[in-house]
Amino acid sequence: MDPITDIFRTMHVTAFGLHRLEATAPWGVKQENQTEEKGTPSGKRMPPADLAHFAMLSRGNCWLSVEGVPEPIPLTGGDCFLLARGTSIVLRDSPRTRPRSTFREIGATANGNVALYGGGGAPTTIVCGSLSFDRASLKPLSQLLPSFILMKADQARTLALHITVQALASEMAEQSPGSEVVANRLAEVLFIQVLRAHIASGSERNQGPKRNGGPERKSGWLRAIFDPQVGTALSAVHDRVSTPWTVESLAEAAGMSRSAFAARFKELLGQTPLEYVTEWRMQKAMQLLEQRDKKLIDVARLVGYESHAAFSKAFKRVVGANPGQYLKRGFERDGRAAIAEDF
């Protein structure tokens, strides 16, 4: 199993807060550097996990300014981008227009899922939303993905991505019965397809600034995946998570010396090889525990532990609770969330 498939099969992506911004020139809106999210534009409960944001132009043109990118980027219909939490941006009709509102402020004025903003001139339609892994996530999105990914409509891309962009724009425009559910699912698919298109573009293989205008990124999970040697070791871990991996055996899989492999791994991922292995085993264990159809010892063995005592000790060290406490907290949290959603 390749690591990307394993990541997204284990850590489910959820889209929420989807809305349509109908902007008319002159207009300017900003997303400030926020480390804490307090709610969605619609006022609905936000998932507790780490977040990313996305936007897609379905009509018109605008300019995007991204923190860390020196020049504004022109956008046109069909362009879309992903943004990690904590990255500031400005969207506006012209590089000369001063942004006077935030996305949150405009979202608060939305009627249903449509927000109107601007001075009455040339129209631009932008579909916006947020993405999150579910609560069973140890690795935040900001550590997995670049802070900014831009996919231009005129770039080479798959037919599937093109169809998804069109379908999402249509669902957000027509608002037929069930459109909210369909649009959220399409947004989740769009997220993975944009990531795949970004990977296919070769951006993560380049050591310099991104060709699509994004800021330079010399480390991170995607960079590690495309490292010829560390990427091979990561593939081995994700394909055989229950193997009793050691630094030596991972270095051998990568075709490197132990010391060189350990240093390169730490440089790219910010943690040691065995810290990564243990963390991913616990991530898989959380998924298996939530299915509630396996005994604890079976879960332990599936993620590489011969005794439930050793597994429980590692689980508590990484997750902060033993397996029973983790499941109890999840049950209580889901119950509170269901009650909150009823109101």
Q: What is the pLDDT of residues 17-35, one digit of tens each?
A: 888 999 999 999 998 765 4
CA dist 53 and 147 (Å) reads 10
Please, which pLDDT band fits residue 329 given cuts at 50, 70 and 90? confident
Residues 6+ apart with CB under 8 A from 283: 10, 11, 136, 137, 138, 139
Per-residue pLDDT at 39 exceeds 50: no
pLDDT digits (tens, 9 = 90+) for 165-191: 889 988 988 878 888 899 999 998 888
The pTM assigned to this predicted structure is 0.75
Q: Between these two residues, 275 and 212, which has the higher pLDDT value?
A: 275
pLDDT digits (tens, 9 = 90+) for 96-145: 999 989 888 887 787 878 999 999 999 999 999 888 876 567 776 667 77
Per-residue pLDDT at 216 exceeds 60: no
Cα 193 to chain centroid, rounded: 12
List the structure tokens of 6: 């394993």
pLDDT of residue 292: 86
| Domain 3-205 in this protein, CATH class | mainly beta
Please, which pLDDT band fits residue 61 given cuts at 50, 70 and 90? very high
pLDDT of residue 50: 60
Q: What share of the chain has pLDDT > 70, as a percent? A: 82
pLDDT digits (tens, 9 = 90+) for 243-260: 999 999 999 999 999 999
Per-residue pLDDT at 315 exceeds 90: yes
CA dist 124 and 24 (Å) reads 6
CA dist 1 and 327 (Å) reads 27
Q: Between these two residues, 85 and 48, which has the higher pLDDT value?
A: 85
CA dist 309 and 327 (Å) reads 17
Tell me the mean pLDDT in the region 79-96: 91
Q: How many CA atoms lie within 13 A of 86 on its CB side?
A: 11
Q: Strand, coil or helix: what is 79?
A: coil
Please, which pLDDT band fits residue 296 given cuts at 50, 70 and 90? very high
pLDDT of residue 72: 96
Tell me the mean pLDDT in the region 57-73: 94
What residue ranges of the chain are covered by domains with CATH 2.60.120.10? 3-205
- The dihedral of CA 100, 103, 107, 108: what is its sign? negative
Q: Is the CB of residue 128 less than 8 Å from the CB of residue 103? A: yes
Task: Determine the angle formed by the axes of helices 247-254 and 258-269, rounding to 10 degrees.
Answer: 90
CA dist 206 and 198 (Å) reads 12
What residue ranges of the chain are covered by domains with CATH 1.10.10.60? 227-329
Q: What is the 3-state secondary structure (H, E, C) of 274-301?
A: HHHHHHHHHHHHHHHHHHCCCCHHHHHH
**Residue 272 dihedral angles phi and psi, to the nearest 5°:** -75, 160
In sequence order, what DSSP letters do the residues of 167-184 get, joined into one string? Answer: HHHHHHHH--TTHHHHHH
Per-residue pLDDT at 305 exceeds 90: yes
pLDDT of residue 138: 75
pLDDT of residue 8: 79
pLDDT of residue 338: 33
Tokens 């910010």 sit on residue: 270
Per-residue pLDDT at 335 exceeds 60: no
List the structure tokens of 116: 């109107």
In sequence order, what DSSP letters do the residues of 210-271 get, joined into one string? Answer: -TTSPPP---SHHHHHHSTTHHHHHHHHHH-TTS---HHHHHHHHTS-HHHHHHHHHHHHSS
Report which of 97, 80, 74, 83 is spatially closest to residue 25, judged by C-alpha positions.
97
In sequence order, what DSSP letters do the residues of 107-164 get, joined into one string? Answer: HHT-BTTEEEEESSSSEEEEEEEEEEE-SS-SS-HHHHS-SEEEE-TTS---HHHHHH
Q: Strand, coil or helix: what is 202?
A: coil
CA dist 282 and 274 (Å) reads 12
Q: Between these two residues, 39 and 263, which has the higher pLDDT value?
A: 263
pLDDT of residue 277: 97
Options 1.10.10.60, 1.25.40.10, 1.20.1260.10, 3.50.50.60; CATH for 227-329 is 1.10.10.60
